[in-house]
Every structure is written in C-alpha cells, then in structure tokens.
Amino acid sequence: MIKLIRWFFSSTKNQFSEKHADLYTELSELKKRIESLERENILNLSRIEELERENVSSTNAMYEIANSLEARIDMIEPPVIHFDDNDGRIVERF
C-alpha cells in the first residue's frame, strides 16, 4: 500500500507530448460544443413551451366557435323529438 501511495504522489517521468496536447485541445473543443448545444436546447425548449400555449389557446377558441355555431343552429331549427310507439325508440330530426 505504501508503494502505491509513493507511486501515486511521485513526480511524472513522462512529459506531455503532442499527443496529449491534441487530446486536450479536442476535449476543450468538445466542451465548447456541449455548451453551445445546451444553449440551443434552452432556446428550443422555450419555443416548444410557446407553441404548446398557442396550441391550447387555438384549441379553446375552436371549441368556443363550435359551441357558438351549434347554439345558433339550434336557435334556427330546434331538434324535434318524436316518440315512436312501435318499439319505444326515440328518433331525433334536425
């Protein structure tokens, strides 16, 4: 165990080579790319939330229009309900 601790804290014999520098450069580029993607993701999420709110608003407006249209149709010609004596069924005519 003592040998492991001495080895771990001993100075490095190998110096950094170009291979290590290239790896460090690639890692820093990857970090920058990840940060830019995270910023884009935040912008996309806000756009998605905005579109969801607009979708709910549009859906509510369509339901209101449909209800208003049905009410106006009913005012023009209310449904007529006839009771059929033969089978006891109800027939609705619009």
Element (H, E) at 84: none
User: Would residue 3 count as lying in a domain?
Assistant: no
* Helix, strand, coil share (%) of the chain residues, nearest 5: 70, 10, 20
Whether 24 is covered by a domain: the verdict is: yes
Residue 8 lies in a domain: no
- What local confidence, expressed as pLDDT, does residue 43 receive? 85
- Note down the domain range covering 48: 18-93
Residue 30 lies in a domain: yes
Q: Is the pLDDT of residue 84 over 60?
A: no
Domains contained in the chain, number: 1
**Which residues make Cβ contacts (< 8 Å) with residue 75, sequence separation at least 6?**
none
What are the DSSP E strand ranges found in 2-93? Answer: 80-83, 90-93
Are 92 and 77 contacting, i.e. CB atoms less than 8 angstroms apart?
A: no
pLDDT of residue 58: 95
pLDDT digits (tens, 9 = 90+) for 6-53: 777 776 666 656 666 778 888 889 999 999 999 889 888 888 899 999
* 4 is a domain residue: no
pLDDT digits (tens, 9 = 90+) for 58-82: 999 999 999 999 888 878 876 666 6
CA dihedral 45, 48, 52, 54 (to 10 degrees): 120
Does residue 44 belong to any structural domain of this protein?
yes
pLDDT confidence of residue 2: 82
pTM above 0.85, yes or no: no
